[in-house]
Amino acid sequence: MAERIAEEKIDQIRQTVDIVEVISDYVQLKKQGRNYFGLCPFHGESTPSFSVSPDKQIFHCFGCGAGGNVFSFLMELEGISFQEAAVKLAAKVNIDLEINLASANGGKRISNELQSMLDAHELLRKFYHHLLVNTKEGQHALEYLLNRGFTRESIDKFQIGYSLNSWDFVCKFLSKRDFSPEWMEKAGLIIKRERDGTYFDRFRDRIMFPIFDRHGNTIAFSGRSLGAEEPKYLNSPETAIFNKSKILYNYHLAKPSIKKMQHAVLFEGFADCIAADRSGVENGIATMGTSLTDDHIALLRQSVQSITICYDSDKAGIEAAYRAGNHLHNAGFQIKVAMMADGQDPDEYIKKNGADKFRSEVIGASLTWMAFKFLYFRRGKNLQNEGDRLAYIEVILKEISQLSKAVERDHYLRQLAAEFSLSLEALMQQQKQFFFAEKRKSSGKNETFHKPLVIAKRAEELKPKHFTAERCLIAHMLKNRDAAYKVQELLAGNTFNIDEHQAIITYLLAFYEDHLEPDSSAFLTYIQDDNLRRMVANIEMMSINDEVSNQELTDYIKQVLNYQKLLKIKEKEVELKEAERQHDFSKAAVIGNEINQLRKLL
């Protein structure tokens, strides 16, 4: 069982840590007024609806409803326990928790088998690297790499290694260290023979490239053959610890550069990423032989909004760049595309032209997303042919019509007019037709996605009076301890109509028994229910007056209590109709009088 962290230590962490600084490690934030805004890391959006309050030390997303304090942010985003979040934050601000950290970190339930998989990969990474750089057995592999342009610095940085030309060395190596063969097979490190149930090594006589997760843990390998042996690259299978659709190669090493430059370069494979790093592009990352996924997008969103796609310049690479670009564009990223001549990949280009040219003439000369689409849609068309030319102009006009900025639309329309000697006015007219046709086609379809703040406010306005009144009362109670007790007094034993609202004030009144001053972040730690935490964060972001009069509180209380009377009136109205249907007019008269008396109380 994890060792409990003292309450005073939790308070010290909360009072020392700056939530803006912590969240800035995961989300790009920009200050707007008193708060900071950015793209929500918990759901896909292209317009920032994620707000962080430095005054209250809380966050809230107006789009998806996520909300809480610095502890709950880490817990939700990284899937860790409260204990682990506290340990992580304490380390960030150099607070000694005075507990056994190994015990505290045990809060996250990871099975012995999964931990064994991670430990085995870590052990083999170190061993493979040692074999490559320190032994005679790895000498030919080291020379092979050095002859292909690798440097010792790069080999060490990426922990490249070598696997022995042996059928069972890894099997024996791991067995001697008490790693279960069954689990090492599930980890993808060894393979079971069907004929006799014995095991043999998956990787033999190969250059070994370790694959790391976002935290720097070794979770898989890719082994490159030294000669003509196929396959050229042999990769670990997907396992319980390795899912290639969630992994971006080099992310853990590139993240500081990405944050510093506010820009990332996306490659199609890890070999290109390593080659680019050798040329000085240290903000490079790569997918692992798969298309860009939503998980990749979510990971990128934490660090950057501007990305250059640098894929192979052959037909398949250009198609892949177009697909990736659309995915990134739809997620709200600013995109450029780096192009290379003659169907080369980045690794080949660097070997042929050198690092300086790659940085200046490929990465530095990247095309805007729209300029890339000009080239993309030309492929396979004979623009001397009238039909092809008109078809190309039409598709480009449709793409231009989707640009949000008038200046961009004007720029590309002029470019198109100049290239084909066309009337700018005619192109503008045609483009507007496409623009309004698309508007009609998608009428309202994207409103929620692009304007979450407006929609969220509109939804709030549509709530019934008693709901809004209860929220306003809670907002004032969260801000002022005296107001909380005044509301309790005015309720006179009655409760809020919304169960969650009643639960919040029950928590809050108990919180004030031990806390003399309001503290939004501390209260969110005090609440045990995730749904209530999000609700409190939402209420905390409401705009209310700094001071609240007794009359204002009384008016809100009246709206709360009136709702019960309105419900009673509706019940009586149903009884009245039933009495009239049965021609029981004396009963109907009594009920009618009761309804009138209830209405006078409103």
User: For the domain that residue 45 is a member of, what is the CATH number?
Assistant: 3.90.580.10
φ, ψ dihedrals at 136, nearest 5°: -65, -35
pLDDT value of residue 454: 33
- Residue 215 inside a domain? The answer is yes
Residue 224's pLDDT is what?
A: 96
pLDDT of 59 strictly over 60: yes
Nearest-angstrom CA–CA distance, 16 and 316: 51
Mean pLDDT of 224-245: 93
- For the chain, how many helices (H) and strands (E)? 29, 17
Q: How far apart are CA 583 and CA 576, in angstroms?
A: 10
Residue that is last in its domain, among 351, 376, 401: 376
| Residue 598 clears pLDDT 70, i.e. is over it | no
Question: Would 435 be classed as within a structural domain?
Answer: yes
Stretch 80-98: mean pLDDT = 86
In a domain? residue 65: yes
In a domain, 225, yes or no: yes
Spatial separation of the C-alpha atoms in residues 321 and 314, rounded to whole Å: 10
Give pLDDT, residue 371. 96
Ramachandran angles phi, psi of 4, nearest 5°: -75, 135
Confidence of residue 100 (pLDDT cuts 50, 70, 90): low
Q: Give me Rg for the CA atoms of the chain.
A: 32
Looking at residue 591, what is its pLDDT?
A: 79
Burial class of residue 491 (count of CB atoms within 10 Å of its CB; 0-12, 13-18, 19+) = middle
Same domain as 340, residue 315:
yes
Q: From CA 405, how far away is CA 507, in angstroms rounded? A: 48
User: Quick check: is 44 in a domain?
Assistant: yes
Name residue 222's beta-bridge partners: 209, 235
Q: Do 519 and 425 share a domain, yes or no?
A: no
Cross-strand bridge partners of residue 152: none
| Alpha-carbon distance values, 571 to 65, 498, 590 (Å) | 34, 19, 14
Of the two residues 575 and 553, the one the predictor is more confident about is 553
Q: Would residue 588 count as lying in a domain?
A: no
> Cα separation of 431 and 424, whole Å?
10
* 54 and 127 together in one domain: no
Q: Are residues 408 and 344 in the same domain?
A: no
The CATH number that applies at residue 206 is 3.90.980.10
In a domain, 280, yes or no: yes
pLDDT tens column, 194-209:
999 999 999 999 999 9
Instruction: List the CATH number of the domain containing 514.
Output: 1.10.860.10
> Out of 93-97, 343-347, 516-520, 597-601, which region has the weakest mean confidence (pLDDT)?
597-601
**Which pLDDT score, from 0 to 100, does residue 438 have?**
75
Token pair 């997620």 in the structure block, residue: 331
Residue 546 confidence class, pLDDT cut points 50, 70, 90: confident
Q: Does residue 101 lie within any of the structural domains? A: no
**Are 372 and 384 in the same domain?**
no
Distance CA 436, CA 438 (A): 5
Domain-terminating residue out of 235, 262, 296: 235
Question: 267 φ, ψ to 5°?
Answer: -110, 165
- Looking at the fold, whether 132 and 65 belong to one and the same domain comes out as no
Q: Using the predicted structure, report yes or no on whether residue 497 has a pLDDT greater than 90.
A: no
Strand pairing report for 206-212 and 161-163: antiparallel
Q: What are the residues whose beta carbons fall under 8 Å from the beta carbon of 137, sequence distance 6 or more? A: 131, 162, 164
Split at pLDDT 50, 70, 90, the class of 460 is very low
The pLDDT, as a whole number, for residue 452 is: 33
Domain hosting 321: range is: 251-376
Q: For the chain, how many residues are written?
A: 602
Residues 6+ apart with CB under 8 A from 54: 18, 19, 20, 34, 35, 36
The number of folded domains in the chain is 5
The CATH number covering residue 337 comes to 3.40.1360.10
pLDDT band at residue 575 using 50, 70 and 90 as cut-offs: confident
Q: Are 328 and 299 contacting, i.e. CB atoms less than 8 angstroms apart?
A: no
Asked if residue 3 has pLDDT above 90, the reply is no
pLDDT digits (tens, 9 = 90+) for 158-191: 999 999 999 999 999 999 999 999 999 999 999 9
Do residue 540 and residue 557 come from a single domain?
yes
| Same domain membership, residue 159 and residue 117 | yes
Q: Which tokens in the block code for residue 48?
A: 């920032």
Global confidence as pTM: 0.66
Tokens 């508007």 appear where? 439
Tens-digit pLDDT profile for residues 269-323: 999 999 999 999 999 999 998 899 989 998 888 778 899 999 999 999 999 999 9
Least confident of 67-71, 188-192, 212-216, 528-532: 528-532
The answer to whether the beta carbons of residues 11 and 515 sit under 8 Å apart is no
Same structural domain, 515 and 423: no
231 and 305, same domain (yes or no): no
* 150 and 190 fall within a common domain: yes
pLDDT (tens digit per residue) in 376-426: 999 999 999 999 999 999 999 999 998 988 899 999 999 999 999 999 999
Using CA atoms, how far residue 307 sits from 9, 257, 325, 336, in Å, is 40, 13, 9, 6
Average pLDDT, the chain: 88
| 210 in the same domain as 125 | yes
Whether the Cβ atoms of residue 403 and residue 370 lie closer than 8 Å to each other: yes
Question: Could you tell me the pLDDT band of residue 101, with boundaries at 50, 70 and 90?
Answer: low
The DSSP bridge pattern shows strands 306-310 and 284-287 to be unpaired
Q: Does pLDDT of 458 surpass 50?
A: no
- Average pLDDT of 519-548? 88
Label residue 6 by pLDDT band (50, 70, 90): confident
Q: Are the C-beta atoms of residues 190 and 221 closer than 8 Å to each other?
A: no
